[in-house]
Structure 1
């Protein structure tokens, strides 16, 4: 079968290759991939790929071989999945615990835009707990996680301020429920009960300074790829006794499949909107990756497999 493999070349980070069609193991199904989405974090992994690793964690398609143990969806069921890797291919094996079936109302393109970004947003909201009436600040809001979190948190009653450098993205985030849009952390007035920080570098201490006393900062990314420096005494300048929490979306007590089913249900009901900035055939994956890495795509980029 055809699959995209990593090259280690910054200009053309993936190329097509012929590889063996995978055989599902216990508790896995074989999915014929119809669409997959790419994430900016994957562009970083492609800079120094591990031997034998093939990228691809967000897929949607059709089950063509059911799990041998009888678990999971049957053959010909449409699904969205979050495999550990190797999803940028004609076929991929996916654990049944990382799958959700799709209703007719949710197409493969929108479904493929859900897994990593949607799971992250949903689990961030679960991590911070009840947000109704609380003042929340979200940095790096232009990406897929930012859009999903904005819509989910606004629906849950948060008074949400989002940080985005893009006026266009800011207008869309306001439509999705953001109470305030700022184009730099310096414009965020605060103080906030919760801060969700995804950029790192100089922005982390700036975000911390906008936290209220005994507030919580959840650090869920470092898009700047620059380490942050914190000063213990800065906590006394306002966010006294504040908590700083590290977040990793994969550290969840809820299986991926259950959370994917929740996301699919919300999309089908019109309560969650995948923001898709690009849909293209998978022959354009290499250029799409460089455009995503260089921030020329806003929202999710989805590639379709012929």
Structure 2
């Protein structure tokens, strides 16, 4: 079968190659991949691939063509969305059944493919924030790097929970969409945001994180879940003494869970099918365009999610 493999070449980080068709383990279903999503974090991972047997691909949607040998998971013919650990940019993928959710007819594979990594990140960020704040209704939230797939989901989900969101987006066009999804204010720079904020969701790192931290309310929470700027963060403890009192800074990983992703994937699918969560398809292209999409994602030229389809 055909699949995208890592090249270790900076100019073109993937190429379409012939690879063996996967042989599913007992708890894995074989999925004919019809669409997959490419995330900006994967562009960074491709710069330093983990190993020779690794292939990219965490967000897939398609059709179950072989059920799991142990009898778990969806039956043959089920339309599914999945979140395998890798190997998804291929014609077929073996996906653990705990990492699958069945799709209703009203949801397209393109919409579904945009849900897993970005949607799981947003859902779990807000779940973590709620454990700290007790609830989001009426809370002031600052969201940096809001123009990507995670930012769109965060804005819509937090607004639905009653939060008052200030979103940071350098683009007026992208900011307009965030306002449509529920942001009460959109600013072009973190420095333009007027605090204090009960919660900061920070994904750019570099110089932005200390500026965002300055706008945190007393005993507020900053969840740090990315470093899109590719720049390290420097914090001055003495500056903190004149800033927010007893601020909490917490590093967040969406993968820090004890259960498989299937239940949360099913929640995202349900919300999207009910029209309460809208996958933001910044581009949908034939999968042969994957190398170009990767370059555009690295250059931050795509708003929302990038989805590739396999015909």
Normalising by structure 2, we get a TM-score of: 0.97
Please say which of residues 3-12 and 255-264 is displaced more in the overlay. Answer: 3-12
Shift of 1:254: 4.3
Give distance in 2, aligned partners of 1:28 and 1:234.
51
2:224 equivalent to 1:219: yes
2:215 equivalent to 1:210: yes
Aligned twin of 2:16: 16
- Alignment size in residue pairs: 306
Secondary structure (helix, strand or coil) at the match of 2:205 reads coil
Please say which of residues 291-300 and 139-148 is displaced more in the overlay. Answer: 291-300
Given the alignment, which residue of 175, 183, 206 partners 2:180? Answer: 175
Give distance in 2, aligned partners of 1:112 and 1:103.
13
Give distance in 1, aligned partners of 2:260 and 2:12.
34
Aligned twin of 1:152: 157
Give runs of aligned pairs for residues 282-293 of structure 1, distance below 5 A. Answer: 282-293=287-298
Given the alignment, which residue of 231, 237, 241 partners 1:236? Answer: 241
2:301 equivalent to 1:300: no
Secondary structure (helix, strand or coil) at the match of 2:179 reads helix
Show structure 1 runs of 5+ residues with no match.
none
Given the alignment, which residue of 251, 256, 267 partners 2:272? Answer: 267
Shift of 1:10: 2.1
Aligned twin of 1:52: 53
Aligned twin of 2:91: 90
Secondary structure (helix, strand or coil) at the match of 1:181 reads strand
Secondary structure (helix, strand or coil) at the match of 2:241 reads helix
Give distance in 1, aligned partners of 2:167 and 2:33.
34
Aligned twin of 2:117: 116
Deviations 1:91-114 (A, max 9, x none): 001011110000000010000000
Please say which of residues 234-243 and 118-127 is displaced more in the overlay. Answer: 234-243
Moved over 4 A (4+): none
Contact persistence 2:206–2:229 (CA under 8 A) = yes
Quote the RMSD (CA, aligned, Å). 0.8
Contact persistence 2:191–2:212 (CA under 8 A) = no
Aligned twin of 2:80: 79
Deviations 1:24-83 (A, max 9, x none): 102110000000010011111111223221000000000011011111000000000000
Normalising by structure 1, we get a TM-score of: 0.99
